[in-house]
Structure 1
C-alpha cells in the first residue's frame, strides 16, 4: 500500500512509518522541508505543494500534524494550535478531492480532550456531547474539517489520542521530578489520565487502516485509565524513586497558563470501539507499559 502521512517526522509518525515499512508499505511523508530528509526505498518526502497528479495511487491518508500542545498557552500559541490543525487537514481534503483514484481511508488525529473534563463521567465513542474548553473546541473543529472527506466517498476515522507513553512525548517531562526525588501527585491527584503505550498507538492506527468497518471516532487509549495519584505512584515505583511531594495546581497554572488543564484536569476515556472490534492491546496495564519503556531506553 502507498500511505500518505503528515506529521511523519514526529514522535508517533516515526514509529508508525517504521512499522508500515516492516509490512512493506511505502510512505509518502508530507513536510514543509523535504530537502532536509533523504528518500529511501520505503519513504518519499514531499512538500505540501507537490503535484497530486504525480503521486501514485494513494491507498490511505494519515493526518498526525499540528502545533505541539506543550508550552505556555498564550493567545498566539492557541491560535497556532488551532490553525495548524485546520489548515493541514483542509489541504489534505483538497489533495484527496483532486486525486483521480480516491484513498480508501482517511485517518485524522484528534484528542480525548474532545470530551471535556470530568472526574466522574466515563466517555466512549458513543458520547455525543463534547466539552466546552479550548482543547474540546479545537478537537470539534478539527474533526468537522476532516469529516469533509466523507463527502468525496472516503472512509474517515478520527483517532482521539490520550496521553501517549514512549521515549518522547509527555512521559520524559513527567519523569523529571520523579527522577529528581521530587515526584508526587499533581494537585489533588484525583484527575483521570487516559494513557496508551506508543506501540499500541501504532497498532491501533493500522487496525483502523485495514478494517473497513471502522469509521468515525476511535478512542486511542488503553482500557485501564488511572488517576494522576496512581499514575505518578506507578511511575515512581518503576523508576525506583520516592513518591512524596505534591505539585500545587496553582503553581502549574502559573507556569503553563491554560495548558495546565492537560495536567491538573482529565477525563476517563474507554477504547470501546477498539475492544468491540477485538483489538488486542500489547500493554493494557500501566506498570507493564512503563517498565517496557524503561527497559527499551536502558
Structure 2
C-alpha cells in the first residue's frame, strides 16, 4: 500500500485527485480543520492539524491544495485572509515533513498563473523567473517561497501554477450561467486571455508530476490553447446553443467586485511548456471539446 497526504482534499480539484490516487492504490490521508462528521474508509483517513508526524505512515507524496477562495469582494481583510490561509497551511506541511523520519519523495504545492501578472500580449512559460508586482503575483510568490523549503529536506518540490479549472464544479458553472440565461457575451474589451484546463487534464498532469522524477519547480497546469475572453464566451454560447450578444463593461465588474474583478477583466497567456517538454499528452487540448465534454457529463 502506498500513502499520500493531501490538504484541500475535499475541494473540487482535491476530491477528483483523491479519487484518482485511490484508483492507483494509494491510501489517502486528508488534512482538514476538523475531523468531526468525517468518515474514514479502507482507502481514506481524515486527520486534523494537531496530528503528530510520528503517528503517520510513510508517505510517497504530500500534496498542498488548500487555501481560501479568491472569490468575494476584496477588502483588505479578505486579501490578508487569502494570503494567510495559503502561507499558514504550507508552513504547517513544511513543519510536518521536517519532523518525518522518512521524508516523502515529492511535495506538490499549489500555486497559480497569477504569478505572471496580467498581459494581453505576452506568452508566459515556466522560464519566467520573476513574479509580477500585483497582489496575486505577490501571493503566489510568497506561497512558492515557503514551499521551496521542502527542497532543503531532500524532497523534490513542484509548484503547480493552476489556470482556470473547467468542470461541473468550481468556477465554470458561474462562468457559463449568463450564457445559459441568454445574456452571454464578452466582458470588458474581451481581449484578456483565459488560461484554462479541463479538470481531468489537471488531475492527470498532477499525477504525471508525482510519478516523473525529472519534474521540479514550477509547472503551468493549463491547456496548450488559452483563449481570449471574447472567444471563450463565444465557444460557451456555441456549445450551449445560446446567443452571444451581451457586453458587460469593465466598470460594471469593478464596481460589483472591486479589485477581484481583475480576475475577470484581465488575464495572462500561460503556456504549459514544461508539461509538453516532458511528454504529457492532453486529453482536452482545445476548448470546444473540453466544454462539450463538460456539457455531456452530468456529475
Point out where structure 1 has 5 or more consecutive residues left out of the alignment. Answer: none
Shifted more, 35-44 versus 189-198: the winner is 35-44
Secondary structure class of the residue paired with 1:38? coil
Secondary structure class of the residue paired with 2:213? coil
Corresponding residue for residue 220 of structure 2: 219
Q: Report the Cα distance in structure 1 between the residues aligned to 2:112 and 2:80, rounded to whole angstroms.
A: 17
Q: Report the Cα distance in structure 2 between the residues aligned to 1:189 and 1:92, rounded to whole angstroms.
A: 40
Point out where structure 2 has 5 or more consecutive residues left out of the alignment. Answer: none
Corresponding residue for residue 60 of structure 1: 61
- Asked if residue 40 in structure 1 is aligned to residue 41 in structure 2, the reply is yes
Q: Report the Cα distance in structure 2 between the residues aligned to 1:98 and 1:8, rounded to whole angstroms.
A: 22
Q: Report the Cα distance in structure 1 between the residues aligned to 2:75 and 2:97, rounded to whole angstroms.
A: 34
Secondary structure class of the residue paired with 1:62? strand
Q: With the length of structure 2 as denominator, give the TM-score of the two structures.
A: 0.99
- Asked if residue 104 in structure 1 is aligned to residue 105 in structure 2, the reply is yes
Corresponding residue for residue 94 of structure 2: 93
Corresponding residue for residue 229 of structure 1: 230
Runs of 4+ in structure 1 off by over 6 angstroms are none
Aligned-residue CA RMSD (Å):
0.8
Q: CA deviation at 1:48?
A: 1.1
Q: Report the Cα distance in structure 1 between the residues aligned to 2:218 and 2:27, rounded to whole angstroms.
A: 26
Q: CA deviation at 1:128?
A: 1.6
Corresponding residue for residue 248 of structure 1: 249
Q: CA deviation at 1:169?
A: 1.1
Q: Report the Cα distance in structure 2 between the residues aligned to 1:271 and 1:70, rounded to whole angstroms.
A: 25
Q: CA deviation at 1:160?
A: 0.1
| 1:191-210 equivalent positions in 2, closer than 5 A | 191-210=192-211
Corresponding residue for residue 81 of structure 1: 82
Shifted more, 257-266 versus 126-135: the winner is 126-135
Q: Report the Cα distance in structure 2 between the residues aligned to 1:158 and 1:115, rounded to whole angstroms.
A: 14
* Cα distance per residue 1:123-164 (max 9 Å; x no partner): 000012221111000000000000011111110000000011
- Asked if residue 171 in structure 1 is aligned to residue 198 in structure 2, the reply is no
Q: CA deviation at 1:187?
A: 0.4
Q: Report the Cα distance in structure 1 between the residues aligned to 2:186 and 2:38, rounded to whole angstroms.
A: 41
Secondary structure class of the residue paired with 2:251? helix
Corresponding residue for residue 267 of structure 1: 268
Q: Report the Cα distance in structure 1 between the residues aligned to 2:171 and 2:233, rounded to whole angstroms.
A: 13
* Cα distance per residue 1:268-287 (max 9 Å; x no partner): 11000000000010100001
Q: Report the Cα distance in structure 2 between the residues aligned to 1:180 and 1:113, rounded to whole angstroms.
A: 29
Corresponding residue for residue 294 of structure 1: 295
Secondary structure class of the residue paired with 1:247? coil
Q: How many residues align?
A: 298
Q: CA deviation at 1:36?
A: 2.2
Q: Report the Cα distance in structure 2 between the residues aligned to 1:286 and 1:140, rounded to whole angstroms.
A: 29
Q: With the length of structure 1 as denominator, give the TM-score of the two structures.
A: 0.99
